[in-house]
Structure 1
Amino acid sequence: MSSLQPIQALNLDSVQQQAFVKYFHSLPDKPPTTVRIFDRNDYYSVHGVDATTSAREVFSSISNIKRMGIEPNRLDYLVLSKGNFEILIRKLLLVRRYRVEIYVTEGSVKSCEWMLKYKGSPGNLSQLEEILGEGLGSTSDQSPCLMAVNIKSDTVTKGRLLGVACISQGDYLLSVSEFTDDDLLTELETIAVQMAPSECIVASTENDDYKALKKVMVRANITLTKLKKSDFSTEGLIQDLNRLLKFKESQQQDANAFPETRKQVAMTSLAAAIRYTSLVNENTNFGRFRLVTIQPDCFLHLDAAALTALNVLPELGDTSHAPSRSLLGLLDRCRTQHGKRLLAQWLRQPLRDINLINERLDIVELLVNSSQLRLQLHDDHLRRIPDLQALARRLTRKKANLHDCYRIYQAINRLPSLLQCLAEADNATVHSSLAEPISELNDDLDKFQQMIETTMDMNAVDRGDFLVKPSFDEQLQSLAEEIEKLQSSAEKELSKAARDLGLDSGKSIKLEINPQNGFYFRVTMKEEQSLRGNKKYTIIDAVKGGVRFKSNALEGITEEYLQAKSSYEKVQDNVVAEIIAIAAGYSECLFCLSHILSRLDVLVSFAVAATTAPYPYCRPLLTEELDEFVLKEVRHPCLEVQEGVSYIPNDVTFKRDSCLMHIVTGANMGGKSTWMRSCGVAALLAHTGCLVPAASAKIPLLRALCARVGATDREDKGQSTFMLEMIESAAILRTATPDSLVLVDELGRGTSTYEGCGIAWAIAEKLATDSKCFCLFATHYHELTRLPSLHPRVVVNSHAEASVVDQQLLLLHRIAPGPATHSLGLHVAKLADLPDTIIKYAEEKQAQLETNLFEVESSVKTEETSEGQRLIVDFLRKCKKIQETVSSDEEMMQEINKLKQEVLQQNSKYVRSLLMT
């Protein structure tokens, strides 16, 4: 990171400072996600809250911030060198997704004659290309994505160095990342979830790294394809990038200028991906692609297990998008295709920037409260917008036609009425983040509209034909006149044929045309007898619609007509090619417009989903402090919309000084899992910028959301339920931090009771004491309810309430404080109609086992506990020494048995109780 040299402070006297402070405060209001930067020729300055934002981005500290002016109107400011200015612009636009306004002065830098000269946003970087270069720009629309991964041994850390590259051809985007990862490839899984590739290519190998990578891709439902190792060679890569990448005007046409190309392992993956997709074989790709670094830390950490546990996306192959089956299905009220893609991306990439989250929430809350605005946008404006991203890509690839141009023209025509609708909201955030960018793009696209109006035959459009105006080209005009004359001649032949056959022209006999036969006459089967024996006419065929026939004169007209039509189409094709080439110049504007409209579409979709829910949603309060996490009367949004469901809401409360972990017990089907999922879904929705299904919500800004929920296995992949639990639990332990939410449900199944209980205990205690994360830990091991006594003010007990009334189990679906008083598994078994003999025997066995466990617990509580533990430790130490001295297994077992008898002779109740169990 470059230092702040040599400029440290503004070179302004007190009068000039006061004048600038006054001018700065006179500027119109803006959201915190717009940063204003002032160009002072040799350096730049940023002021107010923007100074704090900029200092954190560039220097990771606010120590460089200074103050100008006099009390009470003092103003914070930060001075940036040109190098730091570029770093800031890149981070704000490409990482934080903020907007930037750059002011320049018309006179002296010491005067206050400022004007807004440049503006940039994540979806519109055209004015800042000289600073950023389009190679680093990105659009947010999600399109099919290919990932390539290469793993090398890191000689410095002795770990795994991963190079990842993604190609999104629909966005003309190349994304790369290089990082060290653990043996479970946790970071790779996070990137895979965020980028959502449909396929991952790797070098052909069968080592442990490949096996770990394969497990990640299996969990994320990503197809894995092996390539030859030689495909991961960077030979010729720079030359390919020089052709594919879009460089800024003043930049040397050399891909080496991009810092991403210094990520050597990532470049091997990018080279393989480019070869696999044959990008350089299509010349329309040249000068179009951007190269960016993947930024996973900008989003809430989610792995595949969390996506599955919270039902964020529908299962593969599920095209129903049913609201009760997934969050995507519930929230997808989008009216545009690019909006639908962006919604899925937002759900995979919940934000971690509180300003960006609140900006989304501001707009959604406005739309919820303004039904007229919401309905106008949803039911009228947005549903008429075509897939502009796909149309822009067709233009770029020279695959578009006049119909595509007309669809774009129609969308642009709707923008003024859409802008008028947004203006009626009279909201600064809506104006800055939506209306103003759309208005500017509308101005940029004005000449596109003029071109379409000048070149297209709008009268033909009404008939469903998309043609160039004949008057646009002299040759077309001449051919059009010839075609019109031939049509007129054909009409005369129709009148002549009607007189010859005694039929009514245009009614019982008609003139028709098709590409195969040209002009022909047609009469109904009823009038067919009038043709019999008439040698002037030749019958073409007889079909259900009637008899088709022609005359020699009409056939001659047809030949001339088809020849003229063919010539017209050839000339028109040349004109259309010129139109498409000109229209392709507007593709960047169309990509930007697509992004902004899809963003509006998703926000409207959030509002529609919230207003059509059975019960009201609330706006969550996001905080940067990790003191508490409180949800009042939270509901599961997918479950409450199911038919016939009357949802019972519950509260979730975490407080740093009293309750970080809930040990949740209670009857099966009592609502434990639903309660936990509703908490996770609320956190995810809040970070996405959506209202949450609760009476109120106070949610800290989280780094990660981890979940281990559900009893599933992957027999086809060789993974049992227990193995899958252990893999997911290991990932949670490595990921969880104090700013994480962890959901664990019924851990420890698939192995012995004591092993399972021990594992669940160890994991719960680790999460509570070391990770110190917010955690809901549901378990069927009642022993875990002792944890609160060992870790007071950290762990608490909660349970799903249930009652037994007249030998019938009544599940209340309420979560209450304290542990479950007793297990209700036998009552659940009765509900499942298990035979009475089995139930009775189970009750007897339960009583016997509980008696033995009571004796164990009683002995643990006596004063002999410490003495018994000392005897066992001493026994184990002696066993270890025996292993070092004896020469055979038989001799070792003899010595151990002797030691065992010595321990038993001590008559320790603690030892005997352990042996009995």
Structure 2
Amino acid sequence: MYVKKKPPTTVRIFDRNDYYSVHGVDATTAAREVFSSISNIKKMGIEPNRLDYLVLSKGNFEILIRKLLLVRRYRVEIYVPEGSVKACDWSVKYKGSPGYLSQLEEVLGEGLGSSNEQAPCLMAVNIKSDVVTRNRMIGIACITSGEYLLSVSEFTDDDLLTELETITVQMAPSECLVALAENDDFKSLKKVMERANVTLTKVKKGDFSTEGLNQDLNRLLKFKEGQQQDANAFPELRKQVAMTSLAAAIRYTSLLNDNTNFARFRLTTIQPDCFLHLDSAALTALNVLPELGDTSNAPSRSLYGLLDRCRTQHGKRLLAQWLRQPLRDINLINERLDIVELLMDNSQLRLQLHEDHLRRIPDLQVLARRLTRKKANLHDCYRIYQAINRLPSLLQCLGDANNATLHSSLAEPISELNNDLEKYQQMIEATVDMDAVDRGDFLVKPSFDEQLQNLADQLEKLQSSADKELNKAARDLGLDAGKSIKLESNPQNGFNFRVTLKDEQSIRGNKKYVIIDAVKGGARFKTNALESITDDYLQTKTAYEKEQDKVVAEIIGIAAGYSECLSCLSHILSRLDVLVSFAVAATTAPLPYCRPIITESLDEFILKDVRHPCLEVQEGVSYIPNDVIFKRDSCIMHIVTGANMGGKSTWMRSCGVAALLAHAGCPVPARAATLPLLRALCARVGAADREDKGQSTFMLEMIESAAILRTATPDSLVLVDELGRGTSTYEGCGIAWAIAEKLATESKCFCLFATHYHELTRLPSLHPNVIVNSHAEASVVDQQLLLLHKIAPGPATHSLGLHVAKLADLPDSIIQYAEEKQAQLETNLFEIESAVETEETTKGQKIIMEFLQKCKKIQETITSDEKMLTEINKLKQELLQSESKYVQSIISTL
């Protein structure tokens, strides 16, 4: 078998019926993912061509698939043998990638990715660059198969692809398709996807062709009643570049190969301006979502982990979506806040919803998809039935709150859907055998189908005949029927009798009875009559099961008609779940949360006693809250200085988190909060090399800073921490100064700018009523550093780096030498600056003296006032062209 070369991010797995095998470098990858060790790897073949291989059980295979797709974001190919395994002819049967899991649902079940924090999403991007204007037209398309959603957008972007990164954060694709290319646009796109942890997949340029797209969409899209059955009627099809991306995504996912996708999909336009602008750097800086593979959901490690008190899987997915897509509509924000405030104040309502109603709701979104794909069974239908049965009591609970917002946004839609699902309930009650459900079996009522009833009657008669045989054998052997001799049944042997080993002697040698086996549990045996009954019973049961499968298929087909209604119900219940989760998180916090006031005005941004919600829940932490105050006429930027570990970064992050929570419709950890409606939240907090991507700390912060400068506007909040590291001191200071000044004077955004360059504390004097100094308080008591974690006005008075080094247990000898070196460097620097200043001053004074002497000579030699003025002006022009800083400073003051 010839197998094409593949990238290391694609893993090939071979299905050998009872087990799976992985070979070569893939064996090493699999061993590390499943066993965290390569000790399980074995060798096959003869030297020098021996090949590594790894054997996996079905359980380990499933673990590997999930880790590769959902954590590593790798691609997977599963090969099956053509004919016998020994023939060595293999073909790919299943393919899976982070954005396309549909084929592997057959292997791992429909729930693959459903318990993840998001539904798998595939993005395709096409970039059309105009060489003359240097404009970039970006066309993107996203396919979210789990929600039967096609989303597109088309826009112009800058060379850093800032807008594309915003949409990528909002849509959270697992994988991005791009045409084969190695130009500058591809490099920029690659950097955006790397920052967002999105797998980049190259496909043929020809895949981005719209040939046949209209016919494909006509089959995939769900048209409304009375709507023209033509995809051209959708305005999205006028976005030509976006349509090329959509065509590539449809080809990649093979949507047309599955007829259950027909007439199911919705086509929408992505509206990024409806949500707060967030880039990958802001998500990371504020720890909004857990890292890939982190399943601990620890409240102290991410904002998602803190707020995730959701009772449903679809609620968990929606929570992650809301955190990526904070709202920019005051009315929608206040609608969420109204409900959360009600739930916070009404503890009985909150507890009933959280502890009783919501925890009993299954993942209706996944169940609806199973119905649509004809993969559901009677158990799934019954779980849906149970959820619908609970809706009246849920509605009663919501109605008791007597709240208009709760009624219109949640209770009323749930009530309408409950009415729509009434016939579904009636169907399940008419078809499912509820007595069998109590025994744990999910069967169709025999009375529902005439043929099924006939077969059920035959089975009952055969069971009765077997019982008679039991009584006959009991009398013959002198045993007590049902006690010392029992009738049993199993799928392999059908009916048989069982007696204890003590009573086995009574059947030995008796030709009426045939012993099947004798084990510790007793002896099993049968008679010719019982064997005949068994044959008839198994034959009838097989017919019964086939007939039942037919009826079940009919029930599933009818139930599939309710899948859209169930999806709507899932969405509304998930909204309720997230709002309850917000309320639970707020009421169980160490200190109270408050309802933020969101205003259209950009005049002020005030947080009183704001806290970082993740830090305050850590064990052993006594959090010190601080204020954040911006006022357009007095301060829009804080230059924040102070000791390392003094609380600067935490203060900034707490401000950013509060802004994000407020726009998501969640209470904020503060005593009071008044915020403007923001357009963007940008952050450059913390620094780390990305060696695997060839980016140094300095390069990374320059990329992030460039994005901030292009994004920031007066309605933006910008957080900048320790800008300018990784280069020379003066260059770093210059870059930080220039960026801070531009943000304050041109962007005019709200900004917290933390720095160790104390030179920046001069900015407030150059820009009064715009920039102010703030610092993290700290003091030295008995040579010991005391960090107060309190933010106070004014600049830090002196650096405390050496004291922080002592806290880190740096050796005393190193600290002593550092103090000496610091003193030496400061002295040398002062002397150098003094020398430079003295030399510059001396040269400048000499130029001025020469100018004055020439003026005096002209006065003595020329009598005409006009000629004298002409000559002096010539000298003045020469003086103005002087490069002396001393001369220039004097001229500038005149």
Interval of TM-score (by shorter of Structure 1 and Structure 2)? 0.7 to 0.9
Structure 2 Cα separation of the partners of residues 732 and 830 of structure 1:
36
Matches within 5 A, 1:22-101: none
Q: Aligned residue for 1:250? A: 226
Equivalent residue, structure 1, for 2:204: 228
Alpha-carbon deviation of 1:852?
Answer: 4.5
Q: Which amino acid aligns with 1:397?
A: R
The AA in structure 2 aligned to 1:469 is: K
CA distance in 1, matches of 2:826, 2:688: 30
Say what the alpha-carbon RMSD is for the aligned residues.
Answer: 2.4
Matched with 2:674 is: 698
2: CA distance, partners of 1:271 / 1:870: 75
CA distance in 1, matches of 2:846, 2:125: 53
For residue 587 of structure 1, report the CA deviation from its aligned partner: 1.2
Q: Matches of residues 700-715 of structure 1 in structure 2 within 5 Å?
A: 700-715=676-691
Matched, 1:624 2:600: yes
Query: In the alignment, which residue of structure 2 is the partner of 1:105?
Result: none
Give the distance between the partners of 2:572 and 2:788, measured in 1 at CA. Answer: 46
The residue type paired with residue 246 of structure 2 is L
What is residue 747 of structure 2 aligned with on the other side? Answer: 771
CA distance in 2 between partners of 1:331 and 1:364 (Å):
13
C-alpha separation in 2, matches of 1:870 and 1:596: 82
Aligned partners of 1:555 and 1:173: how far apart in 2? 57
Match of 2:697 among 712, 721, 742: 721
Contact 1:243–1:287 under 8 Å retained in 2: yes
Measured after TM superposition, the shift of residue 514 of structure 1 is: 2.2
On the 8 A contact 1:859/1:910 being kept in 2, the answer is no
8 Å contact kept, 1:455–1:468: yes
Deviation track 1:671-727 (CA, whole Å, cap 9, x = no partner) reads: 111110000000000000000000000111000000001121111111111111111
SS of alignment partner, residue 642 of structure 1: coil
Are residue 848 (structure 1) and residue 824 (structure 2) matched?
yes
1:241 to 190, 193, 217: 217
3-state DSSP of counterpart to 1:334: coil
Query: In the aligned structure 2, how far is the partner of 1:346 from the partner of 1:382?
Result: 19
Alignment of 1:398-547 (within 5 A): 398-542=374-518, 545-547=521-523
Does the aligned pair in 2 maintain the 1:377–1:604 contact within 8 Å? yes
Distance 1:868 1:479 in 2: 114
Matched, 1:342 2:293: no
SS across alignment from 2:825? helix
TM-score w.r.t. length of structure 1? 0.78
Q: CA deviation at 1:497?
A: 3.1
Deviation at 1:530, TM superposition (A): 4.3
Equivalent position of 1:589 in the other structure: 565
Going from structure 1 to structure 2, the CA distance change for 1:253 and 1:770 (only over 3 Å counts) comes to same
Aligned 8 A contact 1:859 1:865 in 2 = no
Supply the AA of the counterpart residue of 1:750: G
Secondary structure at the counterpart of residue 778 of structure 2: strand
Percent pairwise identity: 86
Amino acid at match of 1:484: E
User: Structure 1 residue 828: deviation in Å?
Assistant: 1.1
What is the SS of the residue equivalent to 1:490?
A: helix
Q: Any conservation in 1 of the 2:840–2:884 contact (CA below 8 Å)? A: no
Q: Secondary structure of 1:512's match? A: strand
Q: CA deviation at 1:534?
A: 3.6
2:63 aligned partner: none
Which of 345, 358, 361 in structure 2 is aligned with 1:369? Answer: 345
Decide whether the 8 Å contact of 2:221 with 2:266 is kept in 1. Answer: yes
Contact kept, 8 Å, 1:704 with 1:736, in 2: the verdict is yes
Q: Displacement, 1:496?
A: 2.8
Q: Does 1:209 align with 2:171?
A: no
Deviation by residue 1:819-867 (Cα, 9 ceiling, x = unmatched): 1111000111122222223222221222233335556777999997899
- SS in structure 2 opposite 1:638? helix
Distance 1:411 1:868, change over 3 A: farther
Please name the residue that 2:304 is paired with.
Answer: 328
Tell me the CA shift for residue 569 of structure 1: 1.4
For structure 1, which segment, 786-795 or 526-535, has the greater mean C-alpha deviation from structure 2 after superposition?
Answer: 526-535
How big is the shift at 1:510?
2.6
In 1, distance between residues paired with 2:338 and 2:782? Answer: 52
C-alpha separation in 1, matches of 2:845 and 2:142: 57
Change beyond 3 A, Cα 1:221–1:525? farther
Question: Are the aligned partners of 2:337 and 2:667 in contact in 1 as well (CA < 8 Å)?
Answer: yes
| Contact preservation (8 Å) 1:860, 1:910 | no
Q: What residue number does 1:22 align with? A: none
Q: Find the counterpart in structure 2 of residue 652 from structure 1.
A: 628
How far the C-alpha of 1:783 sits from its partner, in A, is 1.0
Please tell me whether residue 835 in structure 1 is matched to residue 811 in structure 2: yes
SS in 2 for 1:639: helix
Cα contact 1:357–1:688 (8 A) shared by 2: yes
Secondary structure at 1:765 match in 2: helix
Find out whether 1:603 has 2:579 as its counterpart. yes
Compute the displacement of 1:908 (Å): 7.9
* 1:516 Cα deviation after fit: 2.0
Match of 1:761 in 2: 737
Amino acid in structure 1 at the alignment position of 2:701? E
State the match for 1:130 in structure 2: none
**Structure 1 residues 538-687: aligned runs within 5 Å:** 538-542=514-518, 545-687=521-663
What SS class does the counterpart of residue 390 from structure 2 fall into? helix
- Residue-by-residue CA offset, 1:214-260 (whole Å, 9 max, x unaligned): 11111101111111111111111111101000112323321111111
Change (3 A) 1:598 1:203: same
Distance, in Å, in 2 between the alignment partners of 1:525 and 1:792 is 99
Match of 1:731 in 2: 707
Secondary structure of 2:675's counterpart equals strand
* Matched AA of 1:489: S
| Shift, 1:910, TM fit | 10
- State the distance in 1 between where 2:474 and 2:835 align: 114
The alignment partner of 1:737 has SS state of coil
Contact residue 519 and residue 555 of structure 1 kept, 8 A: yes
Q: Please give the alpha-carbon distance, in whole angstroms, between the structure 1 residues aligned to 2:228 and 2:741.
A: 57
Contact in 1 for aligned 2:281/2:704 (Cα 8 Å): yes
* SS of equivalent residue, structure 1 residue 261: helix
Deviation track 1:6-52 (CA, whole Å, cap 9, x = no partner) reads xxxxxxxxxxxxxxxxxxxxxxxxxxxxxxxxxxxxxxxxxxxxxxx
C-alpha separation between the residues in 1 aligned to 2:502 and 2:187? Answer: 76
Using the alignment, how far apart are the partners of 2:242 and 2:652 within structure 1? 38
2:803 is matched by which residue type in structure 1? Answer: H
Give the aligned residue type for 2:707: A
CA distance in 2, matches of 1:867, 1:353: 63
What amino acid is aligned across from residue 714 of structure 2 in structure 1? P
Q: 1:739 offset after TM fit, Å?
A: 0.4
Give 1:824's aligned amino acid: L
- CA separation of 1:727/1:349 partners in 2, compared to 1, >3 Å: closer, same or farther? same
1:311 corresponds in structure 2 to 287
**C-alpha deviation, 1:570, in angstroms:** 1.4
Indicate how the Cα distance of structure 1 residues 857 and 656 shifts in structure 2: closer, same or farther if over 3 A, else same. farther
Runs of 4+ in 1 over 6 A off after TM superposition: 856-871, 905-911
**1:101 match:** none
Contact persistence 1:864–1:910 (CA under 8 A): no
CA distance in 1, matches of 2:357, 2:486: 42
The count of aligned residue pairs is 740
| Matches of 1:581 and 1:591, distance apart in 2 | 16
Distance in 2, matches of 1:525 and 1:867, equals 118
Query: Which residue number corresponds to residue 4 of structure 2?
Result: none
Deviation at 1:658, TM superposition (A): 0.7
Change (3 A) 1:526 1:736: farther
Q: Note the residue ranges of structure 1 that are not aligned, 5 or more in a row.
A: 1-140, 872-901, 912-917
**3-state SS of paired residue (1:775):** strand
Q: TM-score, normalised by structure 2?
A: 0.80
Cα distance in 2, alignment partners of residues 814 and 199 from structure 1: 43
Query: CA 1:863–1:258 in structure 2 vs 1: closer, same or farther (change >3 Å)?
Result: farther
Between the aligned partners of 1:567 and 1:814, the Cα distance in structure 2 is 78
| 1:389 aligned residue (336, 353, 365) | 365
Quickly say closer, same or farther: Cα 1:437–1:551, change in 2 above 3 A: same
In structure 2, the partner of 1:128 is none
- Structure 2 unpaired stretches of 5+: 1-116, 848-878, 889-894
Give the Cα separation in 1 of the matches to 2:582 and 2:835. 58
